[in-house]
Amino acid sequence: MTDSVEVGSEAYEKYVEAGDILTTVMSEAAERVEVGATHLEVADYAEERIRELGGEPAFPVNISIDEEASHAAPGAEDDTEFGEDVVCLDVGVHVDGHIADAATTVDLSGNPELVEAAEEALDAAIDAVEPGVHTGEIGAEIQDVIEAYGYKPVVNLTGHGMDVYDAHTGPNVPNRAVDSGVELQAGDVLAIEPFATTGTGKVGEGTDTEIYEVVGSGNVRDRRARQLLEDLERFDGLPFAARWLDGARAEMSLQRLERADIVRSYPVLKESDGALVSQDEHTLIVTEDGCEVVTD
């Protein structure tokens, strides 16, 4: 669970600052998503712009295409260009570990209603947020909107709480009505993220991986792997991209750390072939009389 954040506190101000940076970067990056531009150009632009504005990336920029829902990020040599795609752009910013997380969908494919379904579901979810509301009720709002459009919510992805240097903690915020869950409290920091799909409503792991996170500690015999582990301390436990690492042999060292259960990989999550996925996401702080959206 997240620590309670009091409006006006130093922590609150840092969440707001991270949200302000993210709002600017998201707008600028989304404008660069166009046919012929490359995924890497957009990701590099957004990550560097975050730093220029005084923040740090909370995780690598996710650029998910069509059936991809999450964890898709370009590699160092990736020259993939945008085509007539559904493009989900998911960006995170932190200020001294205080994280803002948001996503938007750029439609280059001619599927505006799929985008609208996720956007309206997020609006309905935010309208429902207040102290004492059950997370399952928020999920019901999301499900009702998406299904009214004729699509399905992605049920095995959820919104989430956030804490300092922890991008995914409790409470989970489901994308469908559920009986299990918790009641929200004033001071909770949440990222609510509806996903709408033309597919089955469930995602599975693909084979591509670019995003990693240090999840344990231990001894490794390989000298280069030990050196890489020391270098990874600069990410403060937050997810990182393989392309952020220095050295030609970093990939091999990263694999050794993963086999030792010190590093975890995040494979791309996908819907069924041919399905399309849209996403919309905001970070908010639950207040005494509702919530404050910090990424809007």
Q: Is-catalytic flag, 281?
A: yes
Model pTM? 0.95
Same-domain status, 157 and 128: yes
Same domain, 64 and 76: yes
Is the residue at 157 inside a domain?
A: yes
Task: Report residue 249's pLDDT band, with 50, 70 and 90 as the boundaries.
Answer: confident
Catalytic: which of 147, 168, 231, 258? 168
Q: What is the pLDDT of residues 121-148, one digit of tens each?
A: 999 999 999 999 999 999 999 999 999 9
Residue 163, number of CB atoms within 10 A of its CB: 17
Check whether residue 197 and residue 245 sit in a common domain: no
C-alpha count within 13 angstroms, C-beta hemisphere, residue 75: 8
The confidence band for 1, taking pLDDT boundaries of 50, 70 and 90, is low
Catalytic residue status for 81? no
* Residue 279 and residue 263 share a domain: no
* Total domains in the fold of the chain: 2
Tell me the pLDDT tens digit for each residue of 100-120. Answer: 999 999 999 999 999 999 999
The answer as to whether 5 is a domain residue is: no
- Statement to judge: residues 82 and 223 lie in one domain: no
211 and 199 belong to one structural domain:
no
Interval 15-36 mean pLDDT: 98
- CA-wise closest residue to 173 among 160, 187, 157: 160
168 is an annotated ligand-binding site residue? yes
Same domain, 173 and 244: no
Position 2 in a domain: no
Same domain, 133 and 32: yes
Q: Please tell me whether residues 193 and 250 are part of one structural domain.
A: no
Question: Does a structural domain hold residue 255?
Answer: yes
Q: Where are the alpha helices (DSSP H) in the chain?
A: 10-31, 39-52, 112-128, 135-148, 223-231, 250-259
**Is 137 a domain residue?**
yes
pLDDT: which is higher, 163 or 251: 163
Among the listed residues 20, 56, 90, 119, the single catalytic one is 90
**Predicted pLDDT of residue 273:** 82
Q: In the Cβ-directed half-sphere of 13, how many Cα atoms lie within 13 Å?
A: 3
101 is catalytic: yes
Q: Is 113 tagged catalytic?
A: no
- Residue whose token pair is 């993939």: 80
Q: Is residue 76 classed exposed, middle or buried when 0-12, 13-18 and 19+ CB atoms within 10 A define those classes? A: middle
What is the pLDDT at residue 236? 96
Residues 43 and 187 grouped into a single domain: yes
CATH of the domain at 249: 1.10.10.10
Indicate whether 296 pLDDT > 70: yes
Q: Which residue range forms the structural domain that includes residue 242?
A: 207-268
State residue 2's pLDDT score.
Answer: 64
Do 105 and 154 contact (CB within 8 A), yes or no?
Answer: no
What is the spatial distance between Cα 79 and Cα 265, in angstroms, rounded to a whole number? 22
Say which residues have a Cβ less than 8 Å from residue 154's Cβ, sequence separation at least 6: 69, 175, 195, 196, 197, 201, 202, 203, 271, 277
Q: Is 44 annotated as a binding residue?
A: no
Indicate whether 3 belongs to any domain: no
CATH number at residue 155: 3.90.230.10
Question: Is 71 marked as binding a ligand?
Answer: yes
**Model confidence over 173-232: pLDDT tens digits?**
999 999 989 999 999 999 999 999 999 999 999 988 999 999 998 888 899 999 999 999
Q: How far apart are CA 190 and CA 99, in angstroms?
A: 10
Residue 95 lies in a domain: yes
Tens digit of each residue's pLDDT (9 = 90 or more) over 233-246: 999 999 999 999 98
Taking the C-alpha atoms of residue 270 and residue 149, their distance in angstroms, rounded to an integer, is 21
Residue 112 forms part of a structural domain: yes
Cβ within 8 Å of residue 291, ≥6 positions away: 126, 129, 130, 190, 284, 285
Closest CA to 292 of 7, 4, 1, 94: 7
Mean pLDDT of the chain: 96
Choosing from 160, 188, 210, 282, the catalytic residue is: 160
Quick check: is 261 catalytic? no
The answer to whether 10 is annotated as binding is: no
Establish whether 85 is an annotated binding residue. no
168 catalytic residue (yes or no): yes
Catalytic, out of 119, 193, 210, 280? 193
Are 190 and 220 in a shared domain? no
68-89 pLDDT, tens digit each: 999 999 999 999 999 999 999 9
Residue 193 marked ligand-binding: yes
Same domain membership, residue 172 and residue 84: yes
